């Protein structure tokens, strides 16, 4: 992995984290900004890293065929509402177009506002949800990717409370060998 993909962590930092976890120790290192970064999970196909108190990343190795794999990387920043980016790479770290493997959810996937809704207060609250923020989480146990709507976390508390009854469950995607497909249960 190129240092440019994880600018706060040197290759030595990353190797130390793996060594610490394999030795059943806390995998915490001092990053380039003199802050603490911790690898929270590591397996043959998954890594989770808390880079700073406000940022994290996860990587998952996904099979596209018997011999070919690609890497899905989720980077998340929270300030305070969390928002994630999802990227895909070949195993030699060439970036692939994310749209080839994933169609991201949209606001309507998280909000269920009936057309017949007459409440001005709820409609006004929905208009305050003017920026789509989502937290994405890769599963360590399987090939799922879950998106949670975090826009209400940056909104005025009263407006967020008015929207709460209309929020849907997180959107779940499952890896199907050639891309993520939305789970049928959603």
Q: How many secondary structure helices (H) and strands (E) does the chain include?
A: 3, 11
The tens digit of pLDDT for each residue in 93-150 reads: 999 999 999 999 998 899 887 777 667 777 777 777 788 999 999 999 999 999 999 9
At 50 the pLDDT is 93
Query: What secondary structure letter does DSSP report for 178?
Result: S
Query: What secondary structure letter does DSSP report for 167?
Result: B
Cα separation of 141 and 33, whole Å? 32
At 185 the pLDDT is 61
> What's the gap between Cα 13 and its chain centre?
22
Strands in the chain per DSSP E: 27-30, 36-43, 46-52, 55-63, 69-78, 82-90, 95-96, 134-138, 144-149, 171-175, 180-182
Higher pLDDT, 65 or 84: 84
Peptide bond into 46 cis (omega under 30): no
Cα separation of 82 and 13, whole Å? 25
At 3 the pLDDT is 65
pTM of the predicted model as reported, rounded to 2 decimal places: 0.87
Instruction: Tell me what the mean pLDDT of segment 22-47 comes to.
Output: 88
The tens digit of pLDDT for each residue in 162-183 reads: 888 888 899 999 999 999 999 9
């Amino acid at each position: 992995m190129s240092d440019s993909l994880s600018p706060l962590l040197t290759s030595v930092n990353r190797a130390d984290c793996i060594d610490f976890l394999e030795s059943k120790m806390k995998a915490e290192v001092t990053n380039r900004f003199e802050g603490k970064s911790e690898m929270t999970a590591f397996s043959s196909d998954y890594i989770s890293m808390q880079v700073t108190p406000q940022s994290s990343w996860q990587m998952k190795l996904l099979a596209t065929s018997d011999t070919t794999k690609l890497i899905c990387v989720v980077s998340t920043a929270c300030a305070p509402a969390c928002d994630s980016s999802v990227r895909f790479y070949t195993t030699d770290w060439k970036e692939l177009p994310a749209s080839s493997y994933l169609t991201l959810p949209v606001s309507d996937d998280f909000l269920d506002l009936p057309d017949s809704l007459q409440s001005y207060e709820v409609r006004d609250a929905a208009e305050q949800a003017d920026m789509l923020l989502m937290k994405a989480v890769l599963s360590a146990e399987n090939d799922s990717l879950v998106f949670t709507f975090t826009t209400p976390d940056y909104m005025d508390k009263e407006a967020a409370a008015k929207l709460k009854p209309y929020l849907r469950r997180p959107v779940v995607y499952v890896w199907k060998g050639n891309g993520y497909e939305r789970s049928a249960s959603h």
